Amino acid sequence: MEITSRNVHKSAVMEAFETNKSFNETFFDYTNREGSYSQRLAELTNRSFQRNELARTIRSYMEPFGVSEAASTHLDELSNDGIVVIGGQQAGLLTGPLYSIHKAITVILFAKQQRNELNVPVIPVFWVAGEDHDLDEINHIFTEQDGRPVKQQYPERFVFKTMASDTVYDNGRMEEYIRLVFRDYEETVNTKQLLEEVLNAAKHEQTFTGFFVRLMNHLFQKHGLLLIDAADKSLRMLEREYFENFITESEVVAEKIVKTERLFVEKGFGTPIQATNDAANLFYVHETGRVLLTREKDLFVNDAAGVRFTTEELLTVAKESPWLLSNNVATRPLMQDMVFPVLAFVGGPGEIAYWALLKDAFHHFDMKMPILVPRISMTLVTPETQRALEKADLSFDDVMAGGVIIRRAQFLEEHQDNTLNQLLKDTEASIQSQYDKMAEHITDVDLASLTEKNRAFHLRQVTYLKDKAEDALLRKYAAAIRNYSLIEGDLYPERNLQERTYTPYPYLNTYGPTLIDDLLNETLPINGQHVVIYL
């Protein structure tokens, strides 16, 4: 592997996060600097956590998927004095977009780095957002066809907005779907094994979250990554008193977030949460799905679902059936910090933007925010794509700057049959000229109308010849054009980063099943720059 770092376009929030001291002091408790970690460690030492219960809960959750020796050691450390580096993601099909894998890689590498720096057990944890109910975000993946990303949507439809952890798929339809996806992958020595692994994972599970976790656990088991579903009932039982706090303090929390978001807007960073003063910042798991609650005087309501709770009634739900409650983007970070001894949170650009609104909410519960670490952003360049770049005399930077479109247009322009193009142009002009003369001469209305139809017919024939000439050009230079399409489709599909479009499986298929392990054995920079890896 060859590894390089590149600057790619960043949001205003990420630019400020990485370079603006005032921004960080305003919206965060710690900066991502060396001295911050010992300070955060000292803070965690003075807080209490349900360590034994948490370790038992995670072990129990992971056992059906397999607890590796490394994960078991991490669980033992967590029950004692271990601290965690944590990140999370929705439960996507075939692990979802590559950035889920990149986030897990960052969590593992950063935990290892801080373990060495602080000389204390630092444990990698992946928090699966199985409580998420937006199935339209996770029910599809993209494969590459002829240099273009093509959406492959799982065909089964679900009526209710059920959580990913509660949504049961049809095993037969899922098997058909997986086989359909793999048909778009080039047959390699790795394809059969990969397909069997994915089919086996789907067969053993019933829900989107279970399928996701089984694949993730398989990919990262050697490295002791701990996985926990935010919607797990045993975890919810540990969270009962924290839900009670969110209920009783919901008005104050909402006001603090609204106030911070106003400041965020004033500084030109937009509205990541679009917070409102009546937000409860909690969901209730209703029979029709997961519904967002708002406050209406002393009630917690969702009128569309016909849900209405008094404060006391909702507190009873928190005590007796906490799995019927779940967090939104505002309370999930708070809950995470209450449950886990979090040294650092690994997040993407969107997550860091909404975390920036939560400092005062953390302080309200006598906590400081953990250190925020941007996940590694990376692009994998296969040998085939490397060869295509060399043939086209393009660099990765050229591709990110939109150079493929320009170079392809230049190539076609250089290989045009200029003589034929001029003849077609002259023919079109001659037809127009002759028919203009006839139009001036003809006075009969019906004949004039027929003349115009005849003109249009001949012009269509010229256009037809133009199109056929263009087709002939494309056929003649199909290999070169396909080369440009391959580059664009793989590295910058639809002007999106690769990691936001494709799952890891086409790259595992090309490189081999050790891809994740090999990446974790490399020294990948965690410095905010985009990492380009030539496989």
Q: What pLDDT shows up at residue 441? A: 86
d(CA 339, CA 317): 19
Poorest-confidence range of 23-37, 326-340, 342-356, 452-466? 452-466
d(CA 447, CA 281): 74
Helix (H, G, I), strand (E, B) or coil at 32: coil
Q: How many domains does the chain have?
A: 2
pLDDT tens track for 353-385: 999 999 999 999 999 999 999 999 999 999 999
Does the structure show a pLDDT above 90 at 408?
Answer: no
* DSSP structure class, residue 137: G
Same domain, 253 and 343: yes
The answer to whether the CB of 199 falls within 8 A of the CB of 175 is yes
Does the structure show a pLDDT above 70 at 431?
Answer: yes
Give me the chain's average pLDDT, please: 93
Q: Which domain holds residue 333?
A: 1-384+498-535
DSSP states along 343-393: EEEEE-HHHHHHHTT-HHHHHHTT-PPPEEEEPPEEEEE-HHHHHHHHHHT
Calculate the alpha carbon distances from 123 to 42, 78, 85, 86, 405 in Å.
Answer: 17, 7, 6, 8, 45
Same domain, 182 and 311: yes
Helix (H, G, I), strand (E, B) or coil at 458: helix
Please, which pLDDT band fits residue 162 given cuts at 50, 70 and 90?
confident
Calculate the alpha carbon distances from 257 to 34, 355, 360 in Å.
Answer: 29, 10, 7
For range 37-46, the mean pLDDT = 96
List CB contacts of 158: < 8 A, sequence separation 6 or more. 135, 167
Does the structure show a pLDDT above 70 at 297?
Answer: yes
For range 151-168, the mean pLDDT = 89
Same domain, 108 and 180: yes
Same domain, 117 and 38: yes
Same domain, 356 and 468: no
Q: What pLDDT shows up at residue 498? A: 96
Helix, strand counts (H, E) of the chain = 24, 15
Same domain, 442 and 298: no
For range 83-97, the mean pLDDT = 96
Poorest-confidence range of 278-292, 370-384, 461-475? 461-475
Phi and psi torsions of 286, nearest 5°:
-90, 165
Show the DSSP H helices in 221-357 as ranges: 233-238, 240-248, 250-266, 311-320, 331-339, 349-355
Same domain, 104 and 138: yes
Same domain, 418 and 506: no
Please, which pLDDT band fits residue 80 given cuts at 50, 70 and 90?
very high
Query: Half-sphere exposure (CA, 13 Å, Cβ side) for 480?
Result: 15
Does the structure show a pLDDT above 70 at 473?
Answer: no
Same domain, 198 and 261: yes
Same domain, 429 and 516: no
Residue linked to tokens 């992958």: 185
Please, which pLDDT band fits residue 419 given cuts at 50, 70 and 90?
confident
Measure the CA dihedral 7/11/15/18, to 10°: -80
- Residues facing residue 347 across a β-bridge: 374
For range 184-201, the mean pLDDT = 97
For range 131-158, the mean pLDDT = 91
For range 448-462, the mean pLDDT = 87
d(CA 506, CA 459): 47
Q: What pLDDT shows up at residue 315? A: 98
Does the structure show a pLDDT above 90 at 428?
Answer: no
Phi and psi torsions of 115, nearest 5°:
-60, -45
> Which two tokens mark 506?
């086409």
Closest CA to 385 of 122, 523, 206, 186: 186
User: Global pTM?
Assistant: 0.90
Same domain, 391 and 436: yes
Q: What pLDDT shows up at residue 410? A: 79
Please, which pLDDT band fits residue 137 given cuts at 50, 70 and 90?
confident
d(CA 147, CA 483): 9
Q: What pLDDT shows up at residue 238? A: 97
The CATH number given to whatever domain includes residue 197 is: 3.40.50.620
- The number of residues in the chain equals 535
The answer to whether the CB of 258 falls within 8 A of the CB of 276 is yes
Q: What pLDDT shows up at residue 31? A: 87
Does the structure show a pLDDT above 80 at 110?
Answer: yes
Same domain, 398 and 374: no
Q: Is 156 exposed, middle or buried (0-12, 13-18, 19+ CB in 10 A)?
A: middle
The answer to whether the CB of 88 falls within 8 A of the CB of 129 is yes
Does the structure show a pLDDT above 70 at 267?
Answer: yes
